Amino acid sequence: MRILIDIGHPAHVHLFKHFALEMQKKGHKVLFTCRDKEFEIQLLTTYGFKFVNFGKKFTSTLGKILGMLIFDFKELKVALKFKPDIFISHGSIYAAHAAWLIRKPHISMEDTYNFEQIRLYLPFTKHVLTADYDHPLKTDKLIKYAGYHELAYLHPNRFSPDATVLQDLGIKEGEKYIIMRFVSWNASHDIGHKGISFENKLKAINEFSKYAKVFISSEGKLPPELDKYHIRIKPERMHDALAFATLVWGESFTIPAECSVLGVPSIINHDTRSLYLKEQEERYGLCYNFTESLEDQNKAIAKGVELLQGKELKSQCDMKKQKMLSEKIDVTAFMVWFIENYPESAKIMKENPDYQYNF
């Protein structure tokens, strides 16, 4: 089987990396396509995958429209040369369009429910795999499974944290540290969002520094006042750093969701309600969601201080993590089975959804 995987975000490399490695071991051919956004190129290179880089993404509204046409053409050109049997992505418009044009199936993994994007890929997609919590995507193309994208690469079957990252961070044994995550707000779905104010970022750093060492992970370039907190590790070491952190605090979705799977508490400021973080908060108590309002930003800082002062935080979060894992599947194992046996696998899941618990 020849598989083309399109990548739109560094997290997508992690989502598909174990799947790709497993499929290659089984003798299948895998090719990645991507844009040069943040760490995609570095991650794909580190893991030794074959890939085609389509260049930098466009940031302006006009540029995004033009970029869709350009990247559509580039994806089609690669597909005609590679001749894939199936396309896989996390909601990629380009993969969906190219798959439709060459009459091959496109399977999408979906967990953001950005309908600006969904409307552009869904008509050209055969099936959409989503988690089994309630969400607004209603289509007969849907197949639900018990899991999160983050369980494709951070499930205990796939990931064991490497404690040597503490040496890279300059962390002493028993020393607490917090990772703050800031985003660039350049994506199309970020329009209208401002995120955490600069004043409250400084306030949070000052408050948290009383209890823990502070590191910042940022999509964009940090201002001079914050650069000394920049976490300076290789991108592929980030999950190790998250696994041993005391707390994560910021304005993104993916890293807090990764923390939930790792049993590390997180605090999020965002006006859009992430459905997987909502479940992780309400069902498992693994994270805390706040809005972007100044009042909520201050509440989020206070919550961070409260957690950093806690004495049983680690053991409590470990118990919550184990409860969550007991109810979820190994997402990579499920993906491998689903793609290898497609389209029969789709029929099986429609008729007997509990089949997924074999994984």
Residue 188: is its pLDDT beyond 90?
no
Q: What is the pLDDT of residue 174?
A: 87
Mean local confidence (pLDDT), 66-94: 96
Residue-range domain boundaries for the chain: 2-155+328-358, 165-326
The lowest-confidence range among 50-59, 93-102, 110-119, 263-272 is: 50-59
Q: What is the pLDDT of residues 252-287, one digit of tens each?
A: 899 999 999 999 999 999 988 899 999 999 999 999
Say yes or no: domain 2-155+328-358 is CATH 3.40.50.2000: yes
CA distance 27 to 29: 7
Residue among 158, 152, 161 at smallest CA distance from 328: 152
Cβ-based neighbours of 144, under 8 Å, separated by 6 or more: 129, 130, 131, 132, 353
Q: pLDDT at residue 166 above 70?
A: yes
Report yes or no: 37 and 126 within 8 Å, Cβ to Cβ. no
Q: What's the predicted TM-score (pTM) here?
A: 0.90
Q: What is the mean pLDDT of the chain?
A: 93
pLDDT for the residue numbered 255: 94
With tokens 């689903």, the residue in question is: 338
pLDDT at 193: 44
Q: Could you give the 3-state DSSP secondary structure of residue 183?
A: coil
- What tokens appear for 195 in the block? 């995120």
- pLDDT level of residue 214 (50, 70, 90 thresholds): very high
Residues 358, 24, 44, 254, Cα dihedral to 10°:
-10
Query: Residue 37 — very low, low, confident or very high, per pLDDT cuts 50/70/90?
Result: confident
The answer to whether the beta carbons of residues 214 and 310 sit under 8 Å apart is no
Please give the average per-residue pLDDT across 218-227, as a whole number.
88
Looking at residue 219, the DSSP 8-state letter turns out to be: S
Instruction: Kindly tell me if the per-residue pLDDT of 99 is higher than 90.
Output: yes
165-326 matches 2-155+328-358 in CATH topology: yes
Q: Give yes or no for residue 20 having a pLDDT over 50.
A: yes
Q: Return the pLDDT at 187.
A: 46
| pLDDT for position 343 | 98
Q: Is residue 119 predicted with pLDDT exceeding 50?
A: yes
- Picking from 43, 42, 70, the residue whose alpha carbon sits closest to that of residue 57 is 70
Residue 190 has pLDDT above 60, yes or no: no
Give the residue from 287, 91, 100, 293 showing the smallest Cα distance to 189: 91
Residue 116 has pLDDT above 60, yes or no: yes
Q: What pLDDT was estimated at residue 273?
A: 84
pLDDT at 192 over 70: no
Per-residue pLDDT at 200 exceeds 50: yes
Retrieve residue 294's tokens: 């100044």
Pairwise pLDDT comparison (2 vs 222), residue with the higher score:
2
Q: What's the mean pLDDT in 137-165?
A: 97
Distance linking the first and last C-alpha atoms of the chain: 22
What are the two backbone dihedrals, phi and then psi, of residue 13, each rounded to the nearest 5 degrees? -60, -45
Q: Supply the pLDDT for residue 161.
A: 97
Q: What was the pLDDT predicted at 184?
A: 66
Counting Cα atoms < 13 Å in the Cβ hemisphere of 333 gives 15
Tell me whether strands 51-56 and 86-89 are parallel, antiparallel or unpaired.
Answer: unpaired
Which CATH fold would you assign to the domain 165-326? Rossmann fold (3.40.50)
Residue 128 CB contacts under 8 Å (≥ 6 apart), including other chains: 107, 108, 109, 110, 122, 137, 139, 141, 142, 143
Of 79, 44, 78, 40, nearest in space to 56 by CA: 40
Q: Residue 177, SS3?
A: strand
Amino acid 304: pLDDT: 97
Residue 171 identity (one-letter amino acid): I
Total residues found in the chain within this entry: 359
